[in-house]
Structure 1
Amino acid sequence: MKISHYSLLLPLLVVGITALAQQHSEQNHSKYVWPKDVQVKQKLDLWQEVKFGLLMHWGTYSEWGIVESWSLCPEDEGWCERKGPASANWYEYKKAYENLQTTFNPIKFNPDRWAQAAKTAGMKYMIFTTKHHDGFCMFDTKQTDYKITSSKTPFSSNPKSNATKEVLDAFRKQNFMVGTYFSKPDWHNEHYWKPYWPPKDRNVNYDPKKYPDEWKQFADFTYNQIQELMTGYGKVDILWLDGGWVRPFNTIDSTISWQRTIPYNQDIDMARIAGMARQHQPGLLVVDRTVTGEFENYVTPEQQIPDHYMPIPWESCMTMGDSWSYIPKENFKSARKLIQTLVDVVAKNGNLLLNIAPGPDGEWHEEAYQRLNEIGSWMQINSESVYGTKPVAPYRQGQWAFTKNSNATYASYLPAESETTLPATVTLPIIPSKTLTVLGAKQSLKWKKAADGVTVTVPESIRKQLAGQPVWVFKVS
């Protein structure tokens, strides 16, 4: 269904539930602000061409195989449940959790292998978690000793201890656009969760208006850390900011349930941060998630796919398994499911950012590599229907997804679970102007007009040749 540019408050089809999805399950996109900076526009155009990216959540929490950061949050929510040592007492638990720094030693860390695997799958951009809400820094910050390069951390003696630098370098070598995930809240920082008071929830535990000096110290800390990332780590394409409750009070949308619970103005001066960041990284995309306005260059539905085409830049961030963070036994989605998800997202004008979580030894599950190889095998044949394309009406219709470029229109057929071979005849809801083929086979297909498009005959030889594919792509040249 085609919708107007002014009616973007869309229902979302929930395709997975994990902890972090809770705060991003609602957002009004009708007030999206297009960037005015020419270099930002150019970068945004480039980002919309590449379609498929990798996200990685990694930190000391992987040692326990638990949810990233959220077990520190004193909220009565399922994703905040404490497990492991001292879980009965929050203070003891926080101490034990933060003590994981002293045992974190991912000696199998090899970002070149990750970059090669992601490239094989057809991914073209990458976002790495430099700091999650727990405040542990995966980069060599000078603002805190709670970091991977601290002498308290065994991995600090490793030549690759500055994990963020190693990851960004490895992916840039493979011609990826690279981005830094950064949490605006910091539950370790004494100027966010001030030790004088116990924290009540995910928010700052004092009123910044009442204690402006405390808040200024936290805002400066945030600014300084982002400045480090923008100046010491080479070219950065995307600054991906999480923790949308840290925001100016006047940006809260009272129609959205989780935003109504934000008790204080938590303005960290995004204009100052973005201005500094773009001075060092011209054209930088800033993604201040859920804070609608000039610093949310694209929107990021989480574990969800909009059920309509959206004419604004957007990205579904989703997990390859069930969890954002490493768990010992992960339930990975099938390559078929992941490829169909990518095709669905692209046909609605979005990008897919797929999360894989490294473990405490610095390695992925081998099954993750297998999935990427399977995706890559499909992309080798069908990527022209993905990269550099634009959605074309009717976008998504039944089992069909539609994209186009300057040379062709692509109609992707998403088979049901029981369909292992192309049907002998299919009804294509668009009328070819010239040649009609299926990607992966050279033979032109015969068709005839029907009431709702054209009826296409698929030869038995092609059906056998392309049997078992997760998506079949018809090309109208």
Structure 2
Amino acid sequence: MVSRRSLLGAPFWAAVGMNAAAQAHQDRAGQGSPAPTAADQLPIASGPFQPSVESLKTYQTPAWFRDAKFGIWAHWGPQAVPRSGDWYARFMYVPGHPHYAHHVKHYGHPSEFGYKDIIPLWKAEKFDPEALMDRYVAAGAKYFVSMGVHHDNFDLWNSRHHRWNALAMGPKRDIVGAWRDAARRRGLRFGVSEHLGASHNWFWPSHQYDQFWPKLGVDYDGADARYADLYHPKHDEPYKGHETWYTTSPAFHQIWFNRVRDLIDNYEPDLLYSDGGIPFGEVGRSLIAHYYNSNIAKQGRLEAVYNCKALGSGEFYPEACVQDVERGVMSGINPRPWQTDTSNGDWFFADDDKYKTAPDVIRMLADIVSKNGNMLLNVALYPDGSLPLESQTLLSDLAQWMGTNAEAIHGTRPWAVHGEGPTETASGAFNESAAYTAEDVRFTAKDGALYAIVMGWPRDGVLRIQTLAEESALAPGSIERVEALGSAESLSFERSRKGLEIRLPDGLAGQAAIALKLRGQGLA
């Protein structure tokens, strides 16, 4: 390892003694490329979309996404290996963080055993995408999203531009391709997520060193030029939060464009997710225009969905994409379709983790769908690709509930209001917790029917919905029939100026949420 002291006053490449072969590899990877300004550096498929804000704002969300409502995500890769949770590749280089302590204890000091050495340990030896996809379909998923590349700069596909990829090392398998084939065989829409944009600055700690003995001043392995295409070349642009989430390096902008375009062109996803705002200005807008245009050329019409966030750095135009809210929801009915992304546990598997249960997920899903949103749920996987018991239980419980109540979710649209009751989740990212009660009701509508999803069991077995009171301006029509999904029996109800009272059958008690179907003239 090279001491930090040897870098002072000397060019980085000279100090680490980068050989000609390594330099040539970096040049091929685009690390030394000039700023991408010419059209041949940002090639986009011909079509109606151009890399301008005005052009991208003409985007319209396809019907399949609006109908789907629920997708499952495999946020899974080498960072699952230590079984310690999210952002391991970064925090294993940060003394004082639990990931650093775990790494030193189990693998050794990061100057001697770095993240590059974790990657070969990810074998995915029990990964069975066909069996997993069967479970995801049964649980009600209408689309599936594979991790493409996380901030760890490791591509999970047969990457043309990056030697650090899953076909070349680790599982030595095209993970994205295997997920895609399994999803499409079952009629699911397929998506990929890219978190690469933030990687350049996010990985900055890998170039640092301990500030205490016995390794004081000894660089971590990220400073070794042989691995600069994984950890990125040495730079003085640390990640300090979402304000500096994206680098200003034009060379890396070109790398990002080349690799994500490779992912789009070779796997033709229906959905592309970026972990942040649109990256890198014109570069990112060019990539989106290419994605939309190439999708139109293949599908005959625009079927592509691009997710980005109004969070941190990067550009955000709600008309140009489908907004994603990480671990959070929106307040009220949003006029544009949107998406929550969340996980049943940590983003990567962690021992002793706390997991969401089926009632947690179902009630959150009902709230999201009532507000014109979708839920994209990561279901945690072990490093080997098998399901932890908590994930198995969740999928089984979701399958049971969806088998009866999916009609109130899939293919629906928001009603006049999203719901009623005392519980309202705060709007925005990282605000997903809510303790719903039997007084909380969420509404959806489809094919002339109104669905009321009740978040618990009333103590006396009588549901009272004030929004549907007689002479209500929101529901001026008549209510002719009320039934619980899964049963053809008509339920007893009474409508007055105080509200609609429905006597619920005892057999519905204990459900995570009770979905009722209401019909009548002018109701929906």
TM range (shorter): 0.7 to 0.9
Residue-by-residue CA offset, 1:238-286 (whole Å, 9 max, x unaligned): 1101144x74xxxxxxxxxxxxxxxxxx446122111222333222222
Question: Could you say which residue in structure 2 is the equivalent of 1:400?
Answer: 441
Structure 2 alignment gaps of length 5 or more: 1-52, 204-226, 297-301, 422-439, 470-477, 520-524
- Shift >3 Å, 4+ stretches: 32-37, 67-71, 73-81, 187-199, 202-208, 421-424
Q: SS at the partner of 2:369?
A: helix
Aligned-pair CA distance for 1:202: 5.5
For residues 400 and 167 of structure 1, what CA distance do their matches in structure 2 show? 36
For residues 151 and 326 of structure 2, what CA distance do their matches in structure 1 show? 17
- Is residue 374 from structure 1 mapped to residue 397 from structure 2 by the alignment? yes
- Is residue 139 from structure 1 mapped to residue 153 from structure 2 by the alignment? no
Residue-by-residue CA offset, 1:411-449 (whole Å, 9 max, x unaligned): 11111xxx4x77432223315521111222222123223
Q: Which of 355, 367, 374 is the equivalent residue of 1:351?
A: 374
Q: Which of 468, 472, 489 is the equivalent residue of 1:443?
A: 489
Q: SS at the partner of 2:483?
A: strand
Q: Which has the higher contact order (CA 8 A, sep 6+)?
A: 1
Question: Could you say which residue in structure 2 is the equivalent of 1:41?
Answer: 60
Residue-by-residue CA offset, 1:209-249 (whole Å, 9 max, x unaligned): xxxxxx3332221111112112222x4111101144x74xx
For residues 128 and 230 of structure 2, what CA distance do their matches in structure 1 show? 34
With the length of structure 1 as denominator, give the TM-score of the two structures: 0.76
**Contact 1:70–1:80 (CA under 8 A) maintained in structure 2:** no
For residues 100 and 81 of structure 1, what CA distance do their matches in structure 2 show? 13
With the length of structure 2 as denominator, give the TM-score of the two structures: 0.69
Q: SS at the partner of 1:232?
A: helix
- Is residue 165 from structure 1 mapped to residue 177 from structure 2 by the alignment? yes
**Contact 2:415–2:444 (CA under 8 A) maintained in structure 1:** yes
**Contact 2:333–2:417 (CA under 8 A) maintained in structure 1:** no
Aligned-pair CA distance for 1:155: 2.2
Task: For 1:254-273, list aligned pairs within 5 A.
Answer: 266-267=280-281, 269-273=283-287
Structure 1 alignment gaps of length 5 or more: 1-31, 209-214, 248-265
For residues 364 and 172 of structure 1, what CA distance do their matches in structure 2 show? 21
- Is residue 178 from structure 1 mapped to residue 190 from structure 2 by the alignment? yes
RMSD: 3.3
Note closer, same or farther for the CA distance 1:329–1:441 as it changes in structure 2 (3 Å cut).
same
Aligned-pair CA distance for 1:288: 2.9
For residues 129 and 152 of structure 2, what CA distance do their matches in structure 1 show? 23
For residues 245 and 73 of structure 2, what CA distance do their matches in structure 1 show? 30
- Is residue 286 from structure 1 mapped to residue 306 from structure 2 by the alignment? yes
Q: How high is the sequence identity, in percent, across the aligned residues?
A: 21
Note closer, same or farther for the CA distance 1:74–1:387 as it changes in structure 2 (3 Å cut).
same
For residues 57 and 252 of structure 2, what CA distance do their matches in structure 1 show? 29
Task: For 1:8-407, list aligned pairs within 5 A.
Answer: 41=60, 43=62, 45-69=63-87, 71-72=89-90, 82-86=100-104, 92=110, 96-150=114-168, 153-156=169-172, 161-183=173-195, 184-187=197-200, 190=228, 195-197=233-235, 200-201=238-239, 208=248, 215-233=249-267, 235-244=268-277, 247=279, 266-267=280-281, 269-282=283-296, 283=302, 284-290=304-310, 291-293=315-317, 296-321=320-345, 323-398=346-421, 399-407=440-448
Q: Which of 463, 470, 473 is the equivalent residue of 2:512?
A: 470
Greater CA deviation, 430-439 or 404-413? 430-439
**Contact 1:270–1:295 (CA under 8 A) maintained in structure 2:** no
Q: SS at the partner of 2:325?
A: coil
For residues 157 and 317 of structure 2, what CA distance do their matches in structure 1 show? 29
For residues 347 and 359 of structure 1, what CA distance do their matches in structure 2 show? 33
Greater CA deviation, 50-59 or 92-101? 92-101
- Is residue 457 from structure 1 mapped to residue 503 from structure 2 by the alignment? yes
Structure showing greater radius of gyration is 2
For residues 55 and 145 of structure 2, what CA distance do their matches in structure 1 show? 22
Question: Could you say which residue in structure 2 is the equivalent of 1:4?
Answer: none
Greater CA deviation, 286-295 or 370-379? 286-295
Give the AA of the match of 1:345. I
Greater CA deviation, 174-183 or 425-434? 425-434
Q: SS at the partner of 1:305?
A: coil
